[in-house]
């Protein structure tokens, strides 16, 4: 029984790591100029993402950081 619990714990932890990597990969794919931020211009080809732009931009600096992107996806889509 202990080994089953250990295996489940390892799988759960590794799945969080994969999810975090997936978010970073999505962010990097969208960040065309590779400046570490997403702008409205970069999200224009993705209208479903652009429609939430103002909600993502928590600090209102008119760009989306990786942290804002991750927080929004974690709290609203998963």
In the structure, what pLDDT confidence band is assigned to residue 73 with cuts at 50, 70 and 90?
A: confident
Q: 0.75 cut: is pTM over it? A: no
CA–CA gap between residue 53 and residue 62 (Å, rounded): 9
3-class SS of residue 67 = helix
Q: Which helix (H) or strand (E) holds 64?
A: strand 64-65
What tens digit of pLDDT does each residue of 6-56 get? 333 333 333 344 455 688 999 999 999 999 999 999 999 989 888 889 988
Q: What's the pLDDT score for residue 19? A: 55
């Amino acid at each position: 029984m202990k080994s089953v619990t250990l295996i489940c714990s390892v799988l759960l932890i590794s799945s969080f790591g994969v999810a975090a990597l997936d978010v970073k990969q999505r962010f990097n794919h969208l960040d065309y100029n590779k400046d570490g931020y997403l702008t409205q211009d970069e999200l224009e080809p993705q209208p479903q993402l652009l429609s939430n732009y103002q909600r993502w931009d928590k600090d209102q600096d008119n760009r989306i950081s990786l942290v804002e992107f991750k927080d929004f996806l974690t709290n609203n889509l998963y």
